[in-house]
Amino acid sequence: MNKQKYFLYARKSTEDDDKQVMSIEAQLFELREFAERERIEIVKEFTEAKSAKKPGRDEFAKMLTMIETIKKPLGILAWHPDRLARNSVDGGRIIYLVDTGAITSLRFPQFWFEPTPQGKFMLQVAFGQSKYFSDNLVENVKRGIRQKLRRGEWLTLAPLGYVNDYKTKNIQPHPVYSQVIRKAFEEYAKGSHTLISLAEFLAEHGLTQKKGTPLAKVSVVKMLTNRAYLGFVKFHGEYHDGNFEPILSPTLFEAVQKTLSSRRKPRKLKTIIPFSFTQLARCGECGCAITAQYATNRFGTRYTYYRCTKKQGKCAQPYIQEHALAAQFQSLLQSVSLPFEEIEVMEKQINDWEHESISSRGEVAQNLKSKLSETQEKLDRLVSLYLDGDIERDLYLVKKDALLRQKAKLEESLGDFGQQGKNRLEPLRSFVLSLKEAEKVAQTKNYAEWRNFFRSLGSNPEIKDKTLSINWSELWDFTAKTKADFALRSAAYSPRGAVNSDKVNCGALGGNRTPIARSAISRPIH
């Protein structure tokens, strides 16, 4: 008696919902043993590891195509109907081939079937049950995810710097690596690291790939933009509040984003500046940069000249020698430099203000709480609009992201508002430190230090008609005018009726320095 001929089909899903199903090797062993007992001849075996929840399985399609092409009585042997189909398209195709006679028999060790109306009905029920199981499992998983999001729990493996806590089913900062992550953000925010050097920094502190090599640049960028460090959970492109401890403050995170944004375009390699005052001033006529060049006379003496690059076209501005330009820079430095005694008076006044309670901070805290409450209300209204279908998803995600970041910023400000009194004085303290730096720089002849000082001020120097001018900020301009007024008053009482520029800095102000310091810092800070 001839054995019946069958195609054997074994499938193992790679989806999590199929973890309880036997492996392909186990299915093959059981099916071959079943075929031997039932005198079934296996013509060809088809195996694949792919979910059957959606159409599109290559081996399954190849098997059905061969059945349609061969046009000989063939059957299919599988472990269970859900191995053949878990969607209506593939299940319907199997039943259609049974109706047309292309498939003469279906055999399953765990399911009985015969090509009768009742058998085909039961097969449809089996396929329907398989589809229902998949659909119901998906809904259960989605419901569980939504509940975890409402509780603010992390959904997957912990990101770099965190560890999974299986007791609380959440994540918590790693005692060591979280500190390394925070330090890496601080270093990158300073602008002292590239992506490669930051990866090496992380590797030195134990954060590497599985092979022990430094992280790739794309992994470093992913880390630097990961809002999980702010306490957010991302799911399907949408951010949610998490109830785990954040590693970073919003201020530090935003500083890193600015640094990343500024470095997105390829940066030009820095070149050595051969001239002291290049890359500093602009032409006062056309706005082009000021460049420099050497010129040698017939006696072999080399001079340095500064001029407009004239990249915008014709420019009538003449050349200016370096020593003449340096003299004007020195004069500007002297106009704002104060003796160290005056600066010490300013620093003492600032220290006194720091120890005073200028105003009640309760109003500040209440204002922050009100803004935080308003932001939360906006979030709630935004979610309601989205659920009611009154706002598109793309706009909803953008608005929600902005509100979440604003909320995190307000929460940080509310936690740190006790330091606001000191923070208000920081610009003034920075200005006083700059005054001290100006005094130090004015006493040197290092042109490079002069250039760096003016560049740090962002004062936009201009050169026109061989004259250097600077747009001082309000405080610097006030300091220069106050110092000039005192110099004129001192000159009026001088026996000779005038003072030179050297005495303006020291001798002319030596009789009474305190009024200058008091005037320079008595204006309100806005």
Task: Give the end-to-end CA distance of the chain in Å, rounded to a whole number.
Answer: 102
Look up tokens 């590891």; give the residue.
Answer: 49
Residue 341 and residue 339: Cα distance in Å, rounded?
Answer: 5
Residue 149 and residue 387: Cα distance in Å, rounded?
Answer: 16
Instruction: Reply yes or no on whether the pLDDT at 117 is more than 90.
Output: no
Reported as a single tens digit per residue, the pLDDT across 148-185 is: 888 888 888 889 899 998 888 889 999 999 999 999 99
DSSP state of 101: T
Which amino acid type is present at position 433? L
What's phi and psi for 363, nearest 5 deg?
Answer: -65, -35
Residue 290 burial (C-beta neighbours within 10 Å; 0-12, 13-18, 19+): buried
Q: What is the mean pLDDT of residues 29-46?
A: 88
295 forms beta bridges with: 303
Reported as a single tens digit per residue, the pLDDT across 353-373 is: 766 645 555 677 778 788 888
Confidence at 337, pLDDT banded by 50, 70, 90: low
Reported as a single tens digit per residue, the pLDDT across 440-475 is: 776 777 777 777 777 776 667 888 888 888 776 665
* Total-model pTM: 0.40
Which amino acid type is present at position 68? E
Residue 66 and residue 70: Cα distance in Å, rounded?
Answer: 6
Residue 188 burial (C-beta neighbours within 10 Å; 0-12, 13-18, 19+): buried
Question: What local confidence, expressed as pLDDT, does residue 18 receive?
Answer: 45
